[in-house]
Amino acid sequence: MLTTVGVNSPQAVKRWATSLALEADKQTYYQRFIGSGENNIIERRTDLEDDAGDAIKFDLSVNLRGGVTTGDNVVEGTEEPLTFYQDEVKIDQVRKGASGGGRMTRKRTLHDLRRIARDRTATYMAEWVDEGFHVYLSGAPTAANQDSKFSGEFAGNPIQAPDSDHQLYGGTAVSKATLTAADKMNVALIERVTVKPRMMNATNPDVMKMTPVSIEGAKRFILLMSPFQAYDMRVETGDLSWSKIQQALATSEGRNSPIVKGGLGMINDTVLHQHEGVRRFSDYGVGGNVSAARSLLMGRQAGVVAYGSGGRGTRFTWVEKMFDADNQVAIYCGAILGMKKTRFNGKDFGVIAVDTSCRDPNAA
């Protein structure tokens, strides 16, 4: 016997809100990088999922740097004060509505409408969240990417451009203006880039050391690039060398980790990834006419995400409503969340922006 669950019934709301959350997570690219605790590319803060409030403040403790006391020398009075830097992420509500149309145009059952609304909204929310991470981690609110869904700062979290200690360029370029069309992504650049996080604190003690994520005893960074940049790298590398890069990942420790799955290959313990949402630009070079993209080298706590409760024990919200004298049905889906790049004492913490020239290889 078929049971019809009415519009906006509590059973339907909870079921489809939960289903939406699961489906959106499956489709969100960055989900593979998200986890609770410091040993994640994107740290998920759970403080607001059960408690009231719209902001989370979190600390970074600075490593001790002074000398030690030896022998019978007096240690009292030589204490080094513990230093903490603080960052904050705020959350807000984001919603998307879908209309099923009126009685004369609607040929589907309410169950079908719910399923379709879930599928389409899950895809939209996944793309919105992914673009949000691209924007915040890149520190680039404007770009040449088409089909943009993310319109700027969200929840009052600032979009912060990379500081000079966390910005690199392809080739011999040292700035946006000096980047030329020849300064493309290649293996030599990746090798150079992977030195930066390991040595930044050794060369400048005032800059926090970037830490790789630990997976099954191995330590890994992530380099996320545009498919255009990945193409440049593969073409420059050649088939034989590229197969070695792929093999390095396929046989590596931690190869079953979510952050490794789907990777292109590995160079110097850095897993290579590509995504079409990586920020692209069209105004680099001295003449402002060089196409470019910003790849991201990421380690632990490159970013942070926080969620609020959607009610009824779910993370997402689901509201069904009849309108137009009960002629039309609309479904509204959403979530309460916030995201940003981690930044302490005016410096990025777990991400380095790597800008190179690139262009569509299929363009005329």
Distance CA 62, CA 64 (A): 6
- Split at pLDDT 50, 70, 90, the class of 65 is confident
Mean pLDDT of the 258-267 span: 94
Reference 331, options 320, 342, 340; nearest CA is 320
Return d(Cα 90, Cα 215) in angstroms, integer: 29
Q: Of 197-211, 261-275, 314-328, where does the model show the most confidence?
A: 261-275
Name, in order, each residue with C-beta under 8 angstroms of 211's C-beta and a sequence gap of 6 or more. 299, 300, 301, 350
Q: Has residue 107 got a pLDDT over 60?
A: no
pLDDT digits (tens, 9 = 90+) for 129-169: 999 999 999 999 989 887 788 888 999 999 999 999 999 99
pLDDT at 1: 36
Q: From CA 176, how far away is CA 93, in angstroms rounded?
A: 35
Rounded-to-integer distance, Cα 312 and Cα 297, Å: 38
pLDDT over 90, % of the chain: 56
Q: Tokens representing 100?
A: 């099923």
Domain borders along the chain are: 10-62+84-137+303-343, 162-302+345-357
Average pLDDT over residues 74-95: 88
Looking from the CA of 259 toward its CB, the CA atoms found within 13 Å total: 29
pLDDT over 90 (residue 310): no
Whether residue 325 has pLDDT greater than 70? no
Q: What is the average pLDDT across 297-303?
A: 97
Least confident of 37-51, 202-216, 265-279, 343-357: 37-51
Q: What is the mean pLDDT of residues 296-324?
A: 82
Q: What is the pLDDT of residue 106?
A: 53
CATH number of 10-62+84-137+303-343: 3.30.2400
Ramachandran angles phi, psi of 211, nearest 5°: -115, 130
Query: pLDDT digits over 215-261, tens only?
Result: 988 999 999 999 999 999 999 988 779 999 999 999 998 888 999 98
Query: Is the model's pLDDT at 334 over the cut of 90?
Result: no
Among candidates 266, 268, 295, which has minimal Cα distance to 280? Answer: 295
pLDDT reported for residue 331 = 83
Q: Which whole number is the average pLDDT over 310-336?
A: 75
> What pLDDT was estimated at residue 96?
87
Measuring CA to CA, how many Å separate 300 from each of 30, 101, 221, 325?
14, 46, 8, 53
Q: What is the per-residue pLDDT for 109?
A: 67
Secondary-structure percent of the chain, ordered helix, strand, coil, rounded to 5: 25, 30, 45
**Higher-confidence residue: 345 or 310?**
345
| Per-residue pLDDT reduced to its tens digit, 269-294 | 999 999 999 999 999 999 999 999 99
Residue closest to 223 by CA, chosen among 294, 261, 263, 272: 272
350 pLDDT band (50/70/90 cuts)?
Answer: very high
pTM above 0.85, yes or no: yes
